[in-house]
Amino acid sequence: MKKSLYANWKMHKTKREAESFFAELNHVGHKSVGVACSFTLLETLALHAPRLGVTVGAQTISEYGHGAFTGEVSATQLKDVGVDFVLIGHSERRHLFGESDEKIGKKVERAICEGMDFLLCIGETLEERENGHTESVLKRQMEAALESALEDQLKRMKIAYEPVWAVGTGKAASPKMIDETHELIRQVLKEIYTEEVGDRTPILYGGSVTVDNLEEILAESNVDGALVGGASLDALNFNQMIQMIED
Ligand code: PGA
């Protein structure tokens, strides 16, 4: 499977900073590269995306459709400004903004209804891993998120395994642990759906990925790509990472 690379600009860039990033970013060719950014930068990114060859991502999506929902940004609006994919269930949304499994399930349903590609982020806390609950936590998160998703709608989904203890901490999971956990995620997909869904769903790793550890993480057979936060903010760094994925 072709490996993909996604940036998650969770540190808020201004429009000017985003423009200078795009000016320094090399064209990515036929590689599969996406950038997820704040709502305010989406139009700027969408403007540069065709020239750069990247896809455009929002960092969350409203679970509601058209209606009176002050402050929410709907899927229709995201598509209108050129968004190709959305992140759903990022650990910061779950833990800092209290997004429940149920809410994340509704967001997945909305993305599917609107025909949008999505990266479903899942991951356990350190306490959950240390107490041997990783499997049950990931399973619970996946079952809730995919409750209403039919098998053929999952072609729009990639899973991003992001252990909470590795996100933004500088402590990435080891390649072996990542590979084993991705295998476990495939097994859960096979249990909920079919062998084929488990085998074909791309599973990315995220959590303190850097230029120094990306290559060894991507070398694992169950890793189909990476979701990079802090280390994706610098264009020269990100250019180096792009070079490491296959064409
Ligand atoms: P990090 O963040 O690479 O800075 O750990 C990952 C993410 O937020 O998706």
Q: Which residues contact 70 (CB under 8 A, 6 or more apart)?
A: none
pLDDT in tens, 189-245: 999 999 999 999 999 999 999 999 999 999 999 999 999 999 999 999 999 999 999
Contact 241, 28 (CB under 8 A): no
pLDDT in tens, 22-78: 999 999 988 899 999 999 999 999 999 999 999 999 999 999 998 999 999 999 999
Distance 94 CA to ligand 1 centre (A): 14
* Ligand 1 pocket list (CB less than 6 A): 8, 10, 162, 167-168, 206-209, 227-231
pLDDT score recorded for residue 79: 96
Distance 207 CA to ligand 1 centre (A): 5
**Which helix (H) or strand (E) covers residue 35, if one does?**
strand 32-37
Q: Please tell me the residue having the least CA distance from ligand 1 atom 7.
A: 229
Active site residues: 90, 162
Which of 227, 233, 241 to mutate for ligand 1's pocket (most ligand atoms within 8 Å of CB)? 227
> Which two tokens mark 4?
């993909």
Residue 122: count of CB within 10 angstroms of its CB = 29
Q: Please tell me the residue having the least CA distance from ligand 1 atom 6.
A: 229
Distance 230 CA to ligand 1 centre (A): 6
DSSP secondary structure code for residue 30 in this structure: T
